[in-house]
Amino acid sequence: MMKKDFEHFFLFVAILGLTFSSATASDPSPLQDFCVAVDEPENGLFVNGKFCKNPNMVKAEDFFFYGLQNAGDTSNKFGFNVTTVNVEQIPGLNTLGISIVRIDYAPYGLNPPHTHPRATEILVVLEGSLYVGFVASNQNNNTFFNKVLNKGDVFVFPEGMIHFQFNVGKTNAIAFAGLSSQNPGVITIADSVFGSNPPISVDVLTKAFQVDKNVIENLQEQFGSGKN
């Protein structure tokens, strides 16, 4: 990544910090300076799904992650890779209500429709061109909001909305995204519906999608559920 790209990235992080500090995060607001996550409960306090490390034992490494300068492996059927930096990678994020990801896209790579049940996402394009969009809830008539983003453009995906990104260029694309949770979670729509374990009844999905039973069985076979 070139120097200017890092400058754009650091500007994005600064804006992100200001945005989330002035907004109500999905995670509860902390009542202490920090709560560095530890797996061992000895002398710990359980907060937001993690035990807190003794503050006297906290060190700079608890707030540090190295690696977002490295491209992710996009050699998969969708042609994308997400490098996640949440509370699992930086224990110091525990209770702070924020995390970040790097997303790499091969030419025509797709981050397929998915949702984050616990976070709003703000995405900035560092390289390439992405076609992005999200679908509003039934309350708003399932309106589809979409845009083609180029280098330096920013787009927001509201919490819980189904969204995607598609690389419409002939070259690799890179994006960074901030999320308003230490652990946003992700539900990939096709995997969840057609690849659940155990599988959802074929009769249920056939009626829900108003298609032939064979279509559902083929989709379940493709996404891993097999026949029910």
Which 3 state secondary structure label does DSSP give 180?
coil
3-state secondary structure 81-139: EEEEECCCCCHHHCCCCCEEEEEEECCCCEEEEEECCCCCEEEEEEECCEEEEEECCHH
Burial class (CB in 10 A: 0-12, 13-18, 19+), 63: middle
How far out from the chain centre does Cα 117 lie? 10
Give Cβ neighbours of residue 167 (< 8 Å, ≥ 6 apart).
79, 80, 105, 106, 107, 108, 109, 110, 128, 129, 130, 173
How far out from the chain centre does Cα 161 lie? 12
CA 125, CA 103: separation in Å to the nearest integer?
Answer: 9
CA 44, CA 180: separation in Å to the nearest integer?
Answer: 25
The dihedrals phi and psi of 125, each to the nearest 5 degrees, come to: -90, 125
The tally of CA atoms less than 13 A away on the side-chain side of residue 179 is: 24
Q: What is the DSSP letter of 159?
A: T
Buried b (16+ CB within 10 A) or exposed e, 88-112: eebbbbbbbbbbbbbbbbbeebbbe
Give pLDDT tens digits along the chain (228 positions).
555 665 666 656 655 665 555 445 566 666 567 777 877 666 566 666 678 888 889 999 999 999 999 999 999 999 999 999 999 999 999 889 999 999 999 999 999 999 999 999 999 999 999 999 999 999 999 999 999 999 999 999 999 999 999 999 999 999 999 999 999 999 999 999 999 999 999 999 999 999 999 999 999 999 985 544
CA 39, CA 162: separation in Å to the nearest integer?
Answer: 32
Per-residue pLDDT at 224: 83
Beta bridge partners of 148: 131
Q: Which of 225, 223, 222, 188 has its CA nearest to residue 111?
A: 188
